[in-house]
Amino acid sequence: MPPRASWTSGPRSVVVLVGFLLASYLVAAVAGISARAGVAAWYNTAPKPFFTPPNWMFPPIWTVMYGLIALAAWQLWLHRDTHPLEVSRGLWQWWTQLMFNLAWTPIFFAIKWLWPALILIVVLDVMVWVTLCSAAKVSRAATWLLVPYFGWLLYATALNLGVALLN
């Protein structure tokens, strides 16, 4: 494992952490707004796989996930001086997966394009895996912070497939 970052505190570090949190939770807010109408319009009454959790579970789980991915990005950023190329690549991948994440919710819930949403979430799965692998080269903490998100996305992918097959 690479050496730890040279410093993890200070005003700049806090500002960067807040920036990653704001970016993640902005995506969460847009996702929540775009999902709300679709959930009411069709998702609540649509046939769903037997392993679908109750709707009330999604907001708290996603809230935790968005926080974890923000912390993962920050952990990567902390290593920018010791691993500049790897951190740059990892953060580019992080931003890319965040944009795929942002796109999925309106495509699935608002537009109800279930099969294109499935393709998109599979691409998102791959992007998160690539991000996780990049993080593993730089920061053990960033890697482990992404693991629950990756697992949850795989579950969400199975749900997307199930809903697409049943509808």
The reply to whether 126 falls in a domain is yes
The reply to whether 4 falls in a domain is no
The reply to whether 3 falls in a domain is no
Q: What angle (nearest 5°) sits at the alpha carbon of residue 115, between those of residues 134 and 149? A: 30
The reply to whether 6 falls in a domain is no
> pTM of the entire structure?
0.90
What spatial distance separates the first Cα and last Cα of the chain, rounded to whole Å? 46
The reply to whether 5 falls in a domain is no
Rounded CA gap, 154 and 90, in Å?
20
Q: Residue 91: which domain range?
A: 11-46+54-166
Contact in structure between 69 and 28 (CB atoms under 8 Å) = no
Segment 92-102 mean pLDDT: 98
pLDDT at 149 over 60: yes
Segment 30-79, tens digit of pLDDT? 999 999 988 988 999 999 999 999 999 999 999 999 999 999 999 999 99
pLDDT at 6 over 50: no
Mean pLDDT of the chain: 94
The CATH number that applies at residue 72 is 1.20.1260
Rounded CA gap, 132 and 128, in Å?
6
Q: How many domains does the chain have?
A: 1
Rounded CA gap, 61 and 113, in Å?
23
Segment 130-150 mean pLDDT: 97
Looking up tokens 């949190």 gives 21
Rounded alpha-carbon distances, angstroms, from residue 133 to 42, 80, 143, 149: 37, 16, 8, 14
Residues composing the chain: 167
The reply to whether 1 falls in a domain is no
